[in-house]
């Protein structure tokens, strides 16, 4: 896959021409047809491609692509941070994806950035029989088992590494979470928001726990994370396996962040309560099988402390959606998440 930092990337859809796309795919293109678009902080434009030489092998060139970037100058002016998300995802496809094993994600064809844009060219998954879950849904435990297998593949490959090993993977996740949760007192009281238990209405205590979670993650469990493993960022392959979308939040952190966020969003409260330790054990076994360390949650108390603390990352788990908020609050209740974090001795300064 081609990659790199480039100049003057397309800023609006009309900038995407057959010549530009052909230069990134390495083939002369006769024409392109924009078949549909999904607009958002990271917009997805879908194209069907006709090549100049239609008789050539199609093995290493796509016919249907999704081009993802920020294609709304007004949005960039109002929310300039959206550019950093697009740049981060482009960096994933250019720098991480080509060497990533044991994980399912969209095939990338090119990724590049400039100072005002990040663009990722990937397969149009809908053309290969993939399906996408609705935002509010529940899935069988077997699906989540497969999801944590995929995450174990990512985690094992980067186990113990950090930003010191990959300086370009700066942590954009922690400050974003702190920014979003800073107005907690006001946000949780807005009309129409799901009702929270009294202990989660205390914004000062909640933000103290959030700050301490980020500051006190146990380095024994550090690896590269997808970072945003909720139900809206997964898809199902034609044979029913899970793949992960939206790589704009990958960073180094605690492995259980990915696991508990994925599990909480995908399962009903009842299924999570009945099967979460079965899922956790499956993750730990797969992590070791794929080259990561072996952890024993029964005889190593640090495993369960870090696991329970990591539910803190569900803080913004689509809380505008009542069902997912219910799942998150139930997990907070079950694992006494704030108490576990705030009850630990503070590290010596």
For the domain that residue 6 is a member of, what is the CATH number? 3.30.200
Last residue of a domain, one of 102, 127, 152: 127
What are the structure tokens assigned to 328, written together? 């998150």
Give residue 319's pLDDT.
46
Residues whose CB is less than 8 angstroms from the CB of residue 47 and which lie 6 or more positions away in sequence, other chains included: 16, 21, 32, 33, 34, 35, 64, 65, 67, 124
Most confident of 5-19, 129-143, 284-298, 307-321: 284-298
> Do residues 95 and 151 both lie within one domain?
no
Whether 54 and 160 map to the same domain: the answer is: no
Partners of 308 in the β-ladder: none
Q: Which domain holds residue 100?
A: 2-127
Q: Single out the residue of 112, 5, 125, 124 nearest to residue 69, CA to CA.
A: 112
Please report where in the chains the tokens 């994370």 appear, as a residue.
Answer: 225
What is the average per-residue pLDDT within 75-79? Answer: 86
- Please report whether residue 282 resides in a domain: yes
| Average pLDDT for 318-328 | 75
Name the least confident of 48-62, 113-127, 148-162, 316-330: 316-330
Query: Given this model, what pLDDT does residue 185 score?
Result: 92
Give yes or no: residues 239 and 91 share one domain.
no
Do the domain assignments include residue 135?
no
Tally of CB atoms within 10 A around 332: 21
Q: Provide the CATH number for the domain around residue 205.
A: 3.90.1200
pLDDT in tens, 208-230: 999 999 999 999 999 999 999 99
Judgement on whether residues 153 and 263 belong to the same structural domain of the protein: yes
Q: Are residues 103 and 163 in the same domain?
A: no
Nearest to 255 by CA among 216, 294, 283, 233: 283
Tally of domains in the chain = 2
**Is there a single domain that holds both residue 107 and residue 210?**
no
Same domain, 214 and 324: yes
- Quick one: average pLDDT of 41-66? 87
Average pLDDT over the chain reads 92
Specify whether 148 is located in the same domain as 96: no
Both tokens of 226, joined, read 């997808």
Question: Same structural domain for residues 116 and 246?
Answer: no
- Report the candidate in 120, 323, 146, 324 with the shortest Cα–Cα distance to residue 235: 146
Q: Encoding tokens for residue 119?
A: 């663009």
Shortest CA distance to 88 belongs to which of 65, 71, 106, 113?
113
Same domain, 181 and 227: yes
Final residue of a structural domain among 81, 97, 127: 127
Is 132 part of any domain? no
Q: With respect to residue 221, please indicate whether it lies within any of the assigned structural domains.
A: yes
Q: What are the Cα distances from residue 45, in Å, to 32, 39, 40, 71, 225?
A: 12, 8, 11, 9, 26
User: Do 121 and 150 have their domain in common?
Assistant: no
- Co-location of 161 and 252 in the same domain: yes
Question: Above 60 in pLDDT, residue 48?
Answer: yes
CA-nearest of 157, 27, 10 to 73 is 10
Q: What is the pLDDT of residues 87-137, one digit of tens each?
A: 999 999 999 999 999 999 999 999 999 999 999 999 999 999 999 988 778
Please give the pLDDT value at position 297: 97
Which of 281, 280, 239, 284 shows the shortest CA–CA distance to 262?
280
Secondary structure (DSSP) of 50-81: EES-TTS--TTS-SEEEEEE---HHHHHH-TH
Alpha helices in the chain (DSSP H): 18-25, 73-78, 81-91, 141-157, 173-181, 184-187, 203-215, 255-266, 269-289, 301-309, 322-335, 337-342
Compute, in degrees rounded to 10, the torsion defined by CA atoms 14, 20, 24, 25.
Answer: 90
């Amino acid at each position: 896959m081609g990659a790199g930092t480039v100049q003057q990337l397309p800023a609006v859809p009309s900038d995407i021409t057959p010549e530009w796309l052909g230069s990134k795919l390495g083939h002369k293109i006769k024409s392109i047809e924009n078949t549909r678009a999904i607009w958002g902080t990271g917009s997805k434009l879908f194209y069907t491609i006709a090549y100049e030489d239609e008789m050539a092998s199609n093995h290493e060139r796509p016919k249907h692509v999704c081009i993802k970037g920020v294609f709304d100058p007004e949005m960039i002016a109002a929310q300039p941070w959206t550019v950093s998300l697009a740049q981060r995802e482009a960096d994933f496809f250019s720098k991480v994806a080509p060497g990533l094993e044991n994980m399912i994600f969209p095939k990338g064809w090119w990724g590049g950035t400039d100072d005002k844009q990040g663009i990722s060219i990937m397969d149009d998954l809908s053309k290969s029989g993939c399906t996408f879950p609705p935002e509010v849904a529940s899935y069988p435990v077997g699906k989540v088992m497969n999801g944590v297998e995929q995450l174990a593949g990512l985690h094992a490959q980067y186990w113990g590494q950090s930003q010191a090993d990959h300086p370009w993977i700066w942590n954009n996740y922690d400050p974003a979470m702190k920014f979003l949760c800073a107005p907690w007192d006001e946000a949780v009281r807005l009309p129409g928001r799901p009702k929270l238990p009294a202990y989660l209405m205390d914004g000062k205590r909640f933000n103290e726990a959030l700050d301490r979670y980020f500051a006190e993650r146990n380095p024994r469990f550090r690896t590269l994370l997808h970072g945003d493993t909720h139900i809206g960022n997964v898809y199902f392959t034609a044979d029913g396996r899970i793949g992960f979308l939206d790589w704009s939040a990958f960073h180094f952190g605690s492995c259980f962040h990915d696991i508990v966020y994925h599990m909480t969003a995908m399962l009903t409260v009842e299924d999570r309560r009945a099967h979460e330790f079965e899922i956790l054990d499956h993750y730990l076994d797969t992590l070791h099988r794929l080259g990561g360390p072996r952890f024993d949650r029964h005889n190593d108390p640090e495993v369960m402390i870090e696991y329970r603390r990591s539910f803190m990352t569900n803080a913004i788990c689509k809380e505008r959606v009542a069902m997912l908020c219910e799942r998150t609050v139930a997990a907070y209740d079950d694992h006494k998440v704030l108490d576990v974090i705030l009850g630990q001795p503070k590290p010596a300064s």
